[in-house]
Structures are given as C-alpha cells and as structure tokens.
C-alpha cells in the first residue's frame, strides 16, 4: 500500500496534518511540544513517505522526515496566504497553524501527482497479476514490474528492427544447422550399431577369412569417414555460434562492426551448407 503525506508547521504552537495519496484528510491537530510531540503523533498514524513544509526550508521538517526515513519536501518559494487558502479550500481548519500544515501536505501531493498516479497503476497491476495467478506473490510481481520500468542498462543501445530481424534470421539458420548435425549424429549411431551387428554375425557364421576382413575394414573406414565429417561439422557449427554471440554483443556497443561480423556468419553458413550437403 502506498504511504501517506504529512505536513508539519513547527513552532511554539505546532500543527500536523496527514493526508492519503488521494488527498483525503486522515489527521489534523494543533499541539505544543514541537518536534518530539510531532514524532509521537506520527507514530500513531500510517508511516509517511513525505514530510512537507510550506516554506523553502525548515530544519525541524527535515529532522522529522529523517526520523521516519521519509522525503523532506520544501516548495521552491514560500507559499503565500492566498495559495494556502486555495489549497485547503473545502477543509475545516481551526487556526493558521493547521491551515499551513495541511496546505504543505496538499501542495506536496499536488507536486508528485503524476508519480502518484503511476504508482497507483503499478499497484493495481500487481494486485491483478497476483489475483489472476500470473505471479505467486506481490514481491515477485513488483520485482518483474520494476525490471520492466528500468528498461535496458544506462548507456545500452537498443537494436533497430532491421538488425533484430537479421539477428533472428541468423539464429534460425544456426538452429537449422544444429538439427542437421543431430541427424548426422543419428546416422553415425546407426552405422556403429550395424558394425556391432556385423561383428556379432561374423562370430557365428563361418565365412572365408579374407572376405570377413574386407567387410570389416570397409565398415570401419565408412564409420571413420562419418565420424571425421561429424567432428568437422560440429567444429564449424561451434565457430558459427561463437560469431553469432559476438554479433549480439557488438550490436549493442559497436554497431559499426555489425556488418563485418554478419557477412562472416553468412559466409560461414554458406560454406557449411556446401561442405555438408
């Protein structure tokens, strides 16, 4: 839940006003005892996010804000009597101290109104995400929402749509090569199984030794050729993937290098396809 805003008018006779983020009055009181009494009164109210003044600076307002780890708010210039009267219109205030404290709180709310609206939307979105089961708890939802709002790290460059499309195209081509490599691996496994089966048959079926040695040698050579091609294919694919990762990094930090790396990847993919048709 979003916190409240307090307005403090310090002095021999002090006043404290507390309003919620919608500008509804929660607490308004005139009292003696200054700063210490204000701390005591605020402890009985919701914890404030802002402690405001109607003047450009007041040390006791700053001190009160620090006591609740809140932000001290001071206007750029002292609020005039007319400005304060306009701010508190519609509220009942017993004296000038209450008017000043309430005007300070309402002025702070007005200043941060856009931020408050944004926070209320986020709070509502988090509630709905938890309610609909998209997030397990509000903390997870808030963490994800904060990450989205922060966006990319400072200084990071976002990729253009055309570059994103090129990158996705290259990723699809690499994925296709990975599937072909997997198919080659399956072929090799099948050849190995055939070799084991042939070896088992040779132990049970009597054939001329010269014929058996020739068959075994041919199968062994075929298997070695496939293994060599598979090893080369895998090595080339790893190099293509390394270039693709380099392209992702460079695209954000050194866009002038993108063209060279992209052309290298395209050439490597073309050579791969020609070599391993």
> DSSP labels for 84-115?
HHHHTTTS--SSHHHHHHHHHHHHHHHHTHHH
Residues 74 and 54 in one domain: yes
Residues 221 and 204 in one domain: yes
Residue 155 lies in a domain: no
Domain that includes residue 78, residue range: 4-111
First to last CA, the chain: 63
What local confidence, expressed as pLDDT, does residue 101 receive? 95
Count Cα atoms within 13 angstroms, Cβ side, for 198. Answer: 16
Residues 180 and 234 in one domain: yes
Say how far apart CA 272 and CA 99 lie, in whole Å.
80
Residue 95 lies in a domain: yes
Residue 18 lies in a domain: yes
Asked whether the beta carbons of 32 and 150 are under 8 A apart, the reply is no
Instruction: Give the pair of three-digit tokens for residue 22.
Output: 């919608």
Q: Specify the length of the chain in residues.
A: 277
What local confidence, expressed as pLDDT, does residue 156 receive? 46
Residues 19 and 99 in one domain: yes
Asked whether the beta carbons of 31 and 41 are under 8 A apart, the reply is yes
Residues 73 and 123 in one domain: no
Residue that the structure tokens 């931020």 belong to: 115
Residue 156 lies in a domain: no
Q: Of 111, 142, 174, at which residue does a domain stop?
A: 111
Residues 104 and 122 in one domain: no
What local confidence, expressed as pLDDT, does residue 261 receive? 75
Residue 174 lies in a domain: yes
Residue 261 lies in a domain: yes
Residues 185 and 248 in one domain: yes
How is residue 137 annotated by DSSP? S
Residue 214 lies in a domain: yes
What local confidence, expressed as pLDDT, does residue 145 receive? 53
Residues 182 and 207 in one domain: yes
- Using CA atoms, how far residue 229 sits from 83, 189, 215, 267, in Å, is 84, 14, 21, 19
**Exposure string over 247-260, b if 16+ CB within 10 A, otherwise e:** beebbeeeeeebee
Residues 74 and 30 in one domain: yes
Say how far apart CA 181 and CA 204 lie, in whole Å.
36
Domain count, the chain: 3
Asked whether the beta carbons of 241 and 233 are under 8 A apart, the reply is no
What local confidence, expressed as pLDDT, does residue 104 receive? 95
The CATH number of the domain holding residue 88 is 3.30.420.40
What local confidence, expressed as pLDDT, does residue 100 receive? 95
What local confidence, expressed as pLDDT, does residue 160 receive? 59
Residues 85 and 8 in one domain: yes
Residues 9 and 101 in one domain: yes
Could you list the pLDDT tens digit for every one of the 277 residues in the chain?
457 899 999 999 999 999 988 889 999 999 998 899 999 998 877 789 899 999 999 999 999 999 998 899 999 999 999 999 999 999 999 999 999 999 999 999 999 888 877 776 766 666 666 556 655 455 555 555 555 444 445 554 455 566 666 667 767 766 766 676 676 667 667 766 766 776 666 555 554 555 445 666 777 777 777 777 777 776 777 777 777 777 766 666 666 677 777 777 777 777 766 765 6
What local confidence, expressed as pLDDT, does residue 149 receive? 46
Q: Of 100, 124, 150, at which residue does a domain stop?
A: 150
3-state secondary structure of 4: strand
3-state secondary structure of 30: strand
Residues 88 and 43 in one domain: yes
Asked whether the beta carbons of 87 and 37 are under 8 A apart, the reply is no
């Amino acid at each position: 839940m979003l916190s409240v805003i307090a307005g403090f008018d310090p002095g021999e006779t002090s006043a404290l006003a507390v309003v919620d983020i919608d500008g509804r009055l929660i607490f308004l009181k005139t009292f003696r005892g200054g700063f210490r009494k204000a701390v005591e009164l605020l402890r009985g109210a919701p914890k404030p996010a802002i402690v405001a003044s109607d003047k450009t600076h007041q040390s006791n307002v700053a001190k009160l804000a620090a006591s609740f780890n809140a932000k001290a708010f001071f206007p750029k210039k002292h609020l005039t009597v007319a400005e304060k009267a306009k701010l508190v219109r519609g509220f009942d205030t017993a004296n000038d101290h209450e008017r000043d404290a309430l005007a300070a709180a309402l002025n702070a709310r007005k200043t941060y109104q856009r931020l408050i609206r944004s926070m209320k939307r986020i709070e509502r979105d988090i509630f709905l995400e938890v309610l609909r089961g998209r997030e397990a708890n509000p903390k997870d939802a808030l963490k994800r929402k904060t990450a989205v709002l922060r966006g990319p790290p400072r200084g990071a460059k976002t990729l253009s749509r055309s570059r994103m499309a090129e990158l996705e195209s290259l990723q699809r081509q690499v994925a296709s090569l990975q599937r072909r490599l997997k198919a080659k691996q399956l072929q090799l496994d099948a050849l190995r199984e055939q070799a084991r089966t042939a070896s088992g048959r040779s132990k049970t079926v009597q054939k001329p030794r010269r014929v058996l040695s020739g068959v075994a040698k041919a199968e062994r050579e075929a298997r070695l050729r496939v293994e060599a091609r598979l090893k080369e294919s895998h090595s080339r694919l790893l190099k293509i993937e390394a270039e693709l990762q380099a392209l992702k990094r460079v695209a954000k930090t050194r866009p002038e290098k993108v063209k060279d790396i992209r052309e290298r990847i395209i050439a490597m993919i073309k050579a791969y396809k020609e070599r391993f048709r």
